[in-house]
Amino acid sequence: RLAMPVTSASVGIADQSSGMVLLAGNSHPELARLVSDRLGVRLGDAVVYNKTNRETSVDIKQSVRGKHVFILQSGSKNVNNDIVELLILIYACKTSAATKITVVMPYLPYSKQCRMLRRSSIPMRLVAEMISKSGATRLVSLDLYRKEIQGFFSIPVDNLRASLFLLQYIREYIPDHKNAIIVAKNPGVMHKATSYADRLRVGVAVIHGEQKEEEESGTEDGRQSPPPNIAPFELFPSSLPKEKPPLTVVGDVGGRIAIMVDDIIDDAASFVAAAEVLKARGAYKIYVMATHGVLSSDAPALLEASPITEIIVTNTVPHEMQKMRCHKIKTVDISLMLCEAVRRIYYNESMGQLFRDINMDD
């Protein structure tokens, strides 16, 4: 059994005798309801709201003294408000003498800003330290943008994977998936594409020549200032400007179903450009599959007008409005995995079962 049955008796036991309290912010109420229903634990009585001056206020209307508190909060469109809500919720539970505070954050905001660029900073490190210092004792997330982000936290981090649910969707809802080929949108996600291809027993291809996004490029750092005029310029090696090669596909996609995999879909322009190349090379169906469907700005409109057949994302991020603008978006529910993680953490059971058949490259 992966989840406790939803009965009135189990609700009372879970809330009062067992010491579990499940709280949620305002970022993803639908996911909070799914987790609550599957666990058989009603959501704790907490009010999280913004005052007239936009300050965030938290009022927990039940005792959490000596309890194990689980706080469910994900990233959404209003990302900064989501983080502040989470921090104040954690701190309110800490000052109310909660024994343990586990943060369940399926999509970790600022995770793409995990590298030093030019004279900037590493905001993900700052967010991790704030979560740790505010009083959290453990964090559960899903498909971190970089697995090294776990090292930013001073508390245990469980990085769950959504690949099992996405692979199940491919097997059940993509007809003739044996004729598919897994495509890496850029060489940076080749390891993920290979992991999917191995388990589906299909081929793999990669889009080559696509210029990396600026925040993902580790070579264009730019922190160095122009050298002082203390030596002839001829002493420094000359460098040629980087030329962007044309997009091309390494691998045969002709007459195949192309399935592009990635962790996050935010700006859809790169996915649309890759889909057009795949279409020109003979792919007769193109699917895009990712864990977190952020889909900000005009991404839904771009995807709707693109040659992409379907966009499959999980419900780690609320995207109901985006689905109204783009009917190609399909949602995979991962609340079952979150519920099982919560249950195992609460009863001090091994988390290894959730990582069975999971590769490091997922």
State the Cα angle at 267 between 274 and 107, rounded to 5°: 115
Instruction: Give the global pTM.
Output: 0.85
The one-letter amino acid code at 258 reads: A
The one-letter amino acid code at 7 reads: T
- Angular region, 145: left φ>0, alpha ψ -120 to 50, beta rest: alpha
C-alpha 322/C-alpha 295 separation (Å) is 7
| Averages of pLDDT over each 10 residues, the chain, 362 residues | 41 52 95 95 92 93 94 93 96 95 96 86 95 97 93 95 94 92 90 93 88 49 57 60 76 93 91 93 94 92 94 95 93 96 95 83 74
Q: Specify the pLDDT at position 4.
A: 43
Give the list of residues 6+ apart from residue 151 with CB closer than 8 angstroms, or none. none
Q: Specify the pLDDT at position 241.
A: 63
Strands (E), 138-281: 138-142, 157-160, 180-184, 203-208, 248-250, 257-265
Q: Specify the pLDDT at position 77.
A: 86
Helices (H), the chain: 8-12, 29-39, 79-95, 123-134, 163-173, 190-200, 269-280, 299-304, 320-325, 335-346
Q: Specify the pLDDT at position 7.
A: 39
Q: Specify the pLDDT at position 293.
A: 93
Q: Specify the pLDDT at position 10.
A: 36
C-alpha 193/C-alpha 71 separation (Å) is 32
